[in-house]
Structure 1
Amino acid sequence: MAFFKLKLHWQILIALVLAIVAGLLAGREAALLGVSVYSIFDFIGQLFLNALKMLIVPLVVSSIIVGVSGIGGSRNLGRLGAKTIGYYVLTTLLAVLAGLFVVNLLQPGVVEGSAQEVFGLSAERAGFEAQFADKDAGDIVEVFLRMIPTNVVAAASAGQMLGLIFFSLLYGYYLTRIEGDHAKVQGDFWNGMFAIMMRITDLIMRFAPLGVFALVAKTVADSGIEVFGPLALFFLTVVAALGIHFFITLPLLLLLAGFNPLRHYQAMSAALLTAFSTASSSATLPLTMESLEKNAGVSNRTTSFVLPLGATVNMDGTALYECVAVIFIAQAYGIELGLATQITVVLLALTTSIGVAGIPAASLVAISIILAAVGLPLEGIGLILAVDRILDMMRTSVNVFGDSCGAVLIAKSEGEQGILQGPARG
């Protein structure tokens, strides 16, 4: 079929458009031969997500160990680490400031009447107050404590990626400190595992269009379009702020480094569309690595260090969303936040986007922490739940694009040649 001869990103884009149509037509009630269409979407989508998540632990461990052992000495590792963290802090701060600017400009929460009346805050949604009431800044400290796991196997099983990354960094570093047969055997093993994981990634990505179709169709069937009415301006505010970071800030960084941003968008298109459908930076990691190495020409030495770390701690879109959401909730309740409080929101959004990224419903937990810190009602989380899933998909794409730009910029700073040169492969 002609469809399967198209490049992967075109296949995914077509699947995404068809999914929106299918989701709107099917809703939650339609059935096919007595089987709920919604349950079919859910089943196929979960299969695809499970396949991607299956890759994460062995891929992250093998890629970091191979990358760090390839970097060599502590001086090189320290230099690369400093560049990576420095870039992540800079871009996350720029993203949060973009969100702060747009939400203060558009003021989506400033409405006539009470927040409950205008935004339809129900008792059920307000129940989320209890769920997040025990979250405070101490949760950030607890997450950072998990950077050093007491049991690395348990950390891998629980999906605690910070601990897994820390262990893999140590393992890769000390692989360069042993000699003889042990070093060769270990090096061959981890290089072989990484090569196998990339082959499995290729296999799973052949089914990406089907997985994307199911995931997006399920989301559209769940949400419909009616939920956007009262929250339209908040939705557009977040989208506008994400757009500034995605289409202006990050491309400017690429331009300043001498790269063509359009070429990078093309190279990363399949990964970005997959990130949108899965709403998971970690689940998209295999394709992000593959796109950067095959399409952008970044070395495995750089991607294997920068990307797994970025998928865990670099959350530009998430930090931006946290800032906009908190200011929006304050506006909805008629609470004016002063300059000092808004600066506090910026700093907390920057910190929590790193610290709680591995927690389920990470953005909602982070928002509850910030709300508590600045004295806003926690039930305000209920105001944004209706559109949170769609915005989650968008901010994940921004997160992934930020990681990929970092890999390109850091690769150039390390003296790599041929980056973003030849034609992209789908």
Structure 2
Amino acid sequence: MKLKLHWQILIALVLAVIVGSLTGTDAAIFGVSFYDIFAFVGTLFLNALKMLIVPLIVSSIIVGIAGIGSGGDLGRLGAKTLLYYATTSLLAILIGLVFVNALQPGVIDGQPARDMIGLSEDVAELEEKVEGKGAGDVAGIFLRMVPTNIVAAAADGQMLGLIFFSLLFGYFMTRVSHSYASTLHTFWEGVFEVMMMITDWVMKFAPIGVFALVAKVVAGTGFSAFLPLAWFTAAVLGALGVHIFVTMPLLLRFVGGVNPLRMYRAMAPALLTAFSTASSSATLPLTMECVEKNAKVSNRTSSFVLPLGATINMDGTALYECVAAIFIAQAYGLELSFAQQFMIVVVALLTSIGVAGIPSASLVAISIILTAIGLPLEALGLILAVDRILDMCRTSVNVFGDSCGAVIVARLEGEKRVLTTDEEERRLTSHS
């Protein structure tokens, strides 16, 4: 019986701690130090992840946007759904921003945690890069959304421009004649499917990559790396908790006009499945069943809102991306300006649309954000060490956000049976 990937990663993590502590930086085999071997294998894994970014982000956004545009549902229902998803994702990111700035997980005892977690990049060089990317004012961020050369933007890692171009391409692809549109759609769907398969293949090596990256850190710094990770985990879980237990109930009560407690009861099976599988796409059939049978949302609303949400609405993922990017900046001792943090918010919002449905979406998305603001990817391996439990939590938040969207949109569309008890439903039926 083959072990599931998350168990493989967990075992790799434990082995990495043991092996890294035993080898240190001096132990060698055939004249090559174990530390250098760990560094080589870890870099190879990170390079493989970087290789996926451009084709994956372009194909996934184009296919997703073309699918929405070609469905003919971008009318009143579509507008309400998209507005809800954009609003909740933005709220989630801002909550993450507050938590990571308040807790400062990348700063331990007043000092940046870069040495504790084995980050090797030169801080002075990074400050130059980040200042260059930060653009003295917010207007510069929007200027970079429209690149003069899309190929150069892809080569230089200017993901904001690439995402904007992909959104436009996907939208206008549905506006050309059917013969052209179908050819283009088939092509980009093919690219997306191939990239999904390559991503799956690369992620099979994740246990080896995690082993090498974590063993390198433990060999170089000992166990001190796990204190910043504990604070990082606390920041993510605290922000996710506020979003699912404060933000969403307030929206359900004051926008949807329904009892939030009934929503938790209605969605319990889907939330438990989302937590155990860490996949909102795999949970989608059960999510639809809970929303239609337990929350009593019409099939017309749920069949549009929920599949769209599983594709583009990832509150938990967007929040996580934001916290991770700023945690890494804090660990390097970098003070991010308002414009730079605003850029993280914008890119997190856009990438949560583009890469939501792919395996280990957060890794690719965080890579995009770090590249956009000029930070290296070397800390990704450490984040991966705690990624599984956080993935399970943020997937539950994603699924709950989608289902709340279905309920709120249904209520705004005038559906009266939503989240009613049997007695209330009988009363409604007798009045109608």
Report the TM-score, using the length of structure 1 for normalisation: 0.62
Q: Offset of 1:205 from its aligned partner? A: 2.4
Match in the other structure for 1:89 = 90
Q: Offset of 1:399 from its aligned partner? A: 8.7
Q: Offset of 1:179 from its aligned partner? A: 2.2
Q: 1:242 aligns with which of 236, 239, 250?
A: 236
1:208–1:410 distance in 2 versus 1, CA, 3 Å: same
The alignment status of 1:138 with 2:136, answered yes or no, reads yes
The alignment status of 1:71 with 2:51, answered yes or no, reads no
Match in the other structure for 2:273 = 263
Q: Offset of 1:90 from its aligned partner? A: 0.8
How many aligned residue pairs are there? 339
SS in structure 2 opposite 1:50? Answer: helix
Q: 1:54 aligns with which of 48, 51, 56?
A: 51
1:184–1:303 distance in 2 versus 1, CA, 3 Å: same
Can you give the 5+ residue segments of structure 1 that lack an aligned partner in the other structure?
A: 269-290, 331-344, 366-386, 417-426
- Which residue type is aligned with residue 244 of structure 1? G
Match in the other structure for 1:201 = 199
With 23-32 and 164-173 compared, the bigger mean Cα shift is at 23-32
Match in the other structure for 1:317 = 323
Match in the other structure for 1:421 = none
How far apart are the structure 2 equivalents of 1:222 and 1:83?
Answer: 46
SS in structure 2 opposite 1:138? Answer: coil
Aligned ranges 1:11-410 → 2 under 5 Å: 11-72=8-69, 75=75, 79-99=80-100, 102=103, 128=123, 132=127, 135=131, 138=136, 140-225=138-223, 238-246=232-240, 248-252=241-245, 258=264, 259-260=267-268, 261-268=271-278, 291-294=279-282, 301-306=308-313, 315-318=321-324, 321=327, 351-354=342-345, 358=368, 360=370, 404=395, 407-409=398-400
1:29–1:40 distance in 2 versus 1, CA, 3 Å: same
CA contact under 8 A between 2:274 and 2:399: conserved in structure 1?
Answer: no
How far apart are the structure 1 equivalents of 2:403 and 2:381?
Answer: 34
Q: Offset of 1:62 from its aligned partner? A: 1.4
Q: Offset of 1:80 from its aligned partner? A: 5.0
How far apart are the structure 2 equivalents of 1:55 and 1:101?
Answer: 33
CA contact under 8 A between 1:15 and 1:212: conserved in structure 2?
Answer: yes
How far apart are the structure 2 equivalents of 1:130 and 1:49?
Answer: 21
Q: Offset of 1:411 from its aligned partner? A: 3.8
Q: Offset of 1:302 from its aligned partner? A: 4.2
Taking only the aligned residue pairs, the percentage that are identical comes to: 37
Q: Offset of 1:61 from its aligned partner? A: 1.4
1:292–1:195 distance in 2 versus 1, CA, 3 Å: same
SS in structure 1 opposite 2:145? Answer: coil
- Which residue type is aligned with residue 264 of structure 1? A
With 309-318 and 27-36 compared, the bigger mean Cα shift is at 309-318
Q: Offset of 1:53 from its aligned partner? A: 2.3
CA contact under 8 A between 1:66 and 1:304: conserved in structure 2?
Answer: no
CA contact under 8 A between 2:63 and 2:170: conserved in structure 1?
Answer: yes
1:129–1:201 distance in 2 versus 1, CA, 3 Å: closer
How far apart are the structure 2 equivalents of 1:48 and 1:154?
Answer: 25
CA contact under 8 A between 2:23 and 2:34: conserved in structure 1?
Answer: yes
- Which residue type is aligned with residue 241 of structure 1? A
Deviations 1:319-372 (A, max 9, x none): 77489889x999xxxxxxxxxxxxxx996685253268756587897xxxxxxx
Q: Offset of 1:414 from its aligned partner? A: 6.0
Deviations 1:221-252 (A, max 9, x none): 23323578xxx6x7765553333224x23553
Q: Offset of 1:167 from its aligned partner? A: 0.9
How far apart are the structure 1 equivalents of 2:47 and 2:381?
Answer: 20
CA contact under 8 A between 1:26 and 1:37: conserved in structure 2?
Answer: yes
- Which residue type is aligned with residue 184 of structure 1? S
SS in structure 2 opposite 1:225? Answer: helix
How far apart are the structure 2 equivalents of 1:187 and 1:173?
Answer: 11
How far apart are the structure 1 equivalents of 2:36 and 2:90?
Answer: 41
SS in structure 2 opposite 1:178? Answer: coil
CA contact under 8 A between 1:250 and 1:405: conserved in structure 2?
Answer: no
CA contact under 8 A between 2:209 and 2:381: conserved in structure 1?
Answer: no
Can you give the 5+ residue segments of structure 2 that lack an aligned partner in the other structure?
A: 250-259, 288-305, 349-367, 408-432
CA contact under 8 A between 2:93 and 2:319: conserved in structure 1?
Answer: no
- Which residue type is aligned with residue 249 of structure 1? V
Report the TM-score, using the length of structure 2 for normalisation: 0.61
Q: Offset of 1:98 from its aligned partner? A: 3.4
